[in-house]
Amino acid sequence: MKDSLPFIRPLPKKFTFGNESLSLGPALSLSGNAASSHIVRAAFDRYKGIVFRNTDRYGLIRPDRTLYDVNKLNIIVHSFSEELQLGFDESYSLFQKLRFILLLEKPQLRCDLAKTVFGALHGLELTSKRSLSFSQSAFSQLCSFDYTTKTVQIYKAPWSIRDKPRFAYLGLLLDTSRHYFPIDVIKQIIESMSYAKLNVLRWHVIDAQSFPLEVPSYPNLWKGSYTKWERYAVEDAYEIVNFSKMRGINVMPEVDVPGHAESWGTGYPDLWPSPSCREPLDVSKNFTFDVLSGILTGWALVVVQRLLQKVSGASSVTKVSERLWSQRDSNSGGNINITALPRLQYFRCLLNRRGVSAAPVTNF
């Protein structure tokens, strides 16, 4: 359809595109001052692997770089701070300039004006999809594998994108106190969050049902876990936080007190008011506050917002993320089966190709 929206989720705040197609070279390299950031370099390598997955599989990488239109991604950032805080600047701009062969210049793809490293990531996602965080993201979604030529193409070039989130808090809740998730599954959820440009993982790690978290100063607390195999060691927690940070996502651990804390007393019964009254915590005892202080001081982990309860719900999350990120109304104007669902189905396929199980969309 002539007036249909491009298959980008969530939609950028402002964008324009043309009618040209450009081939992307598998020897694509990273340039610009962002290349000195280990977070950006790692994101570039991840998205490059996604974009060129099929060319690697078919063994069709051509050694002659001159056969391709685009061989370099230029990313410029204004700040190299890697401190994640709620409300950090996630804006980015992505430009793709066409040059004619008479000028002896190749087409260029640039992610300029990312205020932070994490803004650059989003630009990469859009072209695979995030500018340290946001411009790389945008980059990946613009790239498509052409099964006829067996090359990676950027369609509807040249692109010009200026983007920033509508809200500062774009989160997902993960409740591992009631439903244990292995570390690999949590990482898959975090990865899918980055594809949808969500920036906060609210990790509901402890509740009445179980206490799966290791607290070194009070080692009996995680006796309240479902089993000894369904626990998170200190190293696991740091791994989750660092994995999230590399994708521009804050982790906010959530601990309910004094209610919802029956599991605490499995390891330390003195936290209960009595054997027959197991919650709330007994706030008349100094020991209760000592344990709480041990949890807070021993876990200086930063996490924010709400997580997926099922990986198969990844498609539903993309619908919510677009409304949180973009001010554009992608659902208005005509039949949503024509205007909205095709884009959502396309994104579902994108998730599946990246190894994230996403169920078919049957309603919007």
Assigned domain for 340 exists: no
Q: Which CATH number do you get for residue 28?
A: 3.30.379.10
Q: Which CATH number do you get for residue 177?
A: 3.20.20.80
For residues 142 and 76, membership in a common domain is answered with yes
Structure token pair of residue 177: 């106190």
> Three-state DSSP class for 253?
strand
For residues 186 and 265, membership in a common domain is answered with yes
For residues 155 and 190, membership in a common domain is answered with no
**Are 84 and 245 within 8 A, CB to CB?**
yes
- Burial label for 327, CB within 10 Å (0-12, 13-18, 19+), is exposed
* Nearby residues of 117 by Cβ (< 8 Å), 6 or more positions away: 34, 37, 39, 40, 77, 79, 80, 81, 82, 132, 133
DSSP 307-349: --S-TTBHHHHHHHHHHHH--S-TT-SS-HHHHTHHHHHHHHH
| Res. 130 pLDDT band, cuts 50 70 90 | very low
Assigned domain for 114 exists: yes
pLDDT, tens digit, 9 for 90 and up, residues 62-80? 555 447 888 888 887 777 7
**Are 335 and 303 within 8 A, CB to CB?**
no
For residues 235 and 149, membership in a common domain is answered with no
Element (H, E) at 234: helix 234-245
Assigned domain for 321 exists: no
pLDDT higher than threshold 90 for residue 14: no
How many domains, the chain?
A: 2
Its domain, for residue 175, covers 171-298
How far CA 57 is from CA of 43, 144, 158, 288, in Å, comes to 21, 15, 28, 57
pLDDT, tens digit, 9 for 90 and up, residues 262-320? 999 999 999 999 999 998 999 888 899 888 878 876 665 433 333 222 223 334 444 44
Residue with tokens 């709330």: 280
Q: Which of 37-41, 91-95, 289-293 has the lowest mean pLDDT?
A: 91-95
DSSP lists the bridge partners of residue 175 as 204
Q: Is the dihedral of CA 33, 38, 40, 45 positive or negative?
A: positive
| Res. 129 pLDDT band, cuts 50 70 90 | very low
Q: Which of 19-28, 117-126, 187-196, 293-302 has the lowest mean pLDDT?
A: 117-126
Domain boundary pick from 279, 298, 317: 298
For residues 212 and 75, membership in a common domain is answered with no
How many other C-beta atoms lie within 10 A of the C-beta of residue 254? Answer: 18
pLDDT higher than threshold 50 for residue 2: no
What pLDDT, on the 0 to 100 scale, is given for residue 302? 33
For residues 254 and 192, membership in a common domain is answered with yes
How far CA 280 is from CA of 242, 266, 273, in Å, comes to 33, 14, 8
> Three-state DSSP class for 44?
helix
Assigned domain for 68 exists: yes
What pLDDT, on the 0 to 100 scale, is given for residue 286? 87
| Res. 222 pLDDT band, cuts 50 70 90 | very high
For residues 148 and 269, membership in a common domain is answered with no
What pLDDT, on the 0 to 100 scale, is given for residue 170? 85
For residues 107 and 179, membership in a common domain is answered with no
> Three-state DSSP class for 157?
strand
Assigned domain for 195 exists: yes
Assigned domain for 53 exists: yes
Instruction: Determine the residue type at 96.
Output: Q
What pLDDT, on the 0 to 100 scale, is given for residue 306? 30
CA distance linking residue 304 with residue 193, whole number of Å: 13
For residues 113 and 180, membership in a common domain is answered with no
What pLDDT, on the 0 to 100 scale, is given for residue 126? 46
CA distance linking residue 258 with residue 97, whole number of Å: 58
**Are 171 and 306 within 8 A, CB to CB?**
yes
For residues 208 and 114, membership in a common domain is answered with no
For residues 158 and 30, membership in a common domain is answered with yes
Domain boundary pick from 244, 277, 298: 298
For residues 143 and 38, membership in a common domain is answered with yes
Instruction: Determine the residue type at 340.
Output: A
DSSP code, position 159? P
Q: What is the mean pLDDT of residues 35-53?
A: 87
- Burial label for 272, CB within 10 Å (0-12, 13-18, 19+), is buried
Assigned domain for 98 exists: yes
CA distance linking residue 303 with residue 245, whole number of Å: 10
Query: Chain-wide mean pLDDT for the chain?
Result: 74
Strands (E), the chain: 14-16, 20-31, 70-77, 92-97, 108-114, 143-146, 151-157, 160-163, 171-175, 200-206, 250-255
First to last CA, the chain: 20
Residues in the chain: 364
Domain boundary pick from 278, 298, 318: 298
How far CA 232 is from CA of 51, 84, 262, in Å, comes to 33, 23, 19
